[in-house]
Structure 1
């Protein structure tokens, strides 16, 4: 099968048999056996199947999915990662196009066990099976994150690579763990014991953008999450993010998102209302 770009980070875990995976346009294909997984950044077309030399059939989002059978020889469980607050791109840009988690790795052994549990939940009518399945998939993603954090993994510049750099970790913690704004580049440099010039150079190499741009982007993502998931007044959000006035926050947010904070909140409210109406029956 040839699948269009998923648009979101996607986990494809083989629970039975073995399948080949390849990013369209690349020569290398990966054989993924039972208990192993691949993670896609969601930005590229990909192919998968039982033989790498077969001409692929193009898949479309509306294609029917066959029900799982205990007699199936090759089974692939898929899950997508959807990040709230407009941070999907924040995740996608920080991970490789395709990551192969092998069974003999530390994360691979944990993933193999989780896949066995997932296969059991999907093939037996067990109490609270749906809830258990959700928890298993969340644990799968935790181990995927650990794979990306492992030394030796080649990562594009981005936040995961930044968090993997020990000498930049104090600055990353100041920005992410306990957000307090405004935070200056000089303060971040001091937390790492580096001069301002050296800090900016190393930060840009790991994160892909200068520290000031990174802090601004993170503030806007926090603002988006607060607007979409809470009722916190906009002027209070502006104060939390270190803006001197709601108007200056409005200008910055509109420059980043393309709409005002008020419009962003109204759009999120309409989507939420639609979800409730669809789910009500």
Structure 2
């Protein structure tokens, strides 16, 4: 067994998906106030094509935004985008909107035709990290792209391209903007992880502990194996008791429960997004029968695999 710790950052990013994305191009003139409600299980992304604006979180945190700023709100926390703190805010869903393409709509918050209006490109999306989903809860309330500028200079041309596309509004600009926003959001997450996850604790210890990383990586690479504590401890290079204690301290759960929940998160991905047959998913994840898989799935997810498949085929509005 190699003593080199596995690349858990690559493993994390391999499982990252921004899906079900709906974008809005918001144009407004001061005074304006746009409220975004709590979106559980989703993330919010904002790019300021032309500022200034203020981001105000319901927690009380406040950020001054200018042209070229981008930010990611990983846990879908409620917030406002406004011209100043005294402005009345209106839910974004109450503004009239006009579709630009299948994934982008245009919102005009009473802009003035003869002034330099504020322009913001916003997205709401399903944010998944595959088997590392618990890490999302450890992320900060707001992740600002400005904190990555010196470390990741490749973000500069991406932001410049977003600003250019948003303002020029040439043919196909909405689709190009959406793709660029996906990349910028992914870079913001990667930058936070590679910078050491800030001051986050708890589950982040898995990324910082090379012994735990080897065991976690083994489960991610082969989720269909019925890993025992002894086998995982061997991967980690520790005794069973030391491994079990470290694992529980870092993740808040046991290896067996972690493996079961990892399998179910992957099962949702395989069924929902990859449209794999349920029987294939059951075998791929180490279950000897479809019945055993269905029981475990319903116990952890709260519904049957068939019900999940049916629900995923119904179009949903964001």
Q: Distance in 1 between matches of 2:39 and 2:151?
A: 24
Q: Equivalent residue for 1:153?
A: 198
Matched, 1:59 2:91: yes
Q: Equivalent residue for 1:75?
A: 119
Matched, 1:9 2:51: no
Q: Equivalent residue for 1:45?
A: 78
Higher RCO by CA contacts (8 Å cutoff, separation 6 or greater): 2
Cα deviations by residue, 1:202-258 (Å, 9 ceiling, x for unpaired): 333443433322221110111122222445443332221111222111111111122
Secondary structure of 1:9's counterpart equals strand
Instruction: List aligned pairs for 1:230-249, cutoff 5 A.
Output: 230=274, 232-249=276-293
Q: Distance in 2 between matches of 1:197 and 1:41?
A: 35
- Is the helix fraction higher in 1 or 2? 1
- Is the strand fraction higher in 1 or 2? 2
Structure 1: any 5+ residue segments left out of the alignment? Answer: none
Matched, 1:250 2:283: no
2:144 to 100, 115, 120: 100
Check conservation: 2:56, 2:80, Cα contact below 8 A. Answer: yes
Check conservation: 2:247, 2:254, Cα contact below 8 A. Answer: yes
Q: Equivalent residue for 1:175?
A: 219
Check conservation: 2:139, 2:197, Cα contact below 8 A. Answer: no
Structure 2: any 5+ residue segments left out of the alignment? Answer: 1-32, 97-106
Q: CA deviation at 1:199?
A: 2.6
Q: CA deviation at 1:140?
A: 0.5
* Alignment length (residue pairs): 270
Q: Equivalent residue for 1:29?
A: 62
The two structures, once aligned, show a CA RMSD in angstroms of 3.4
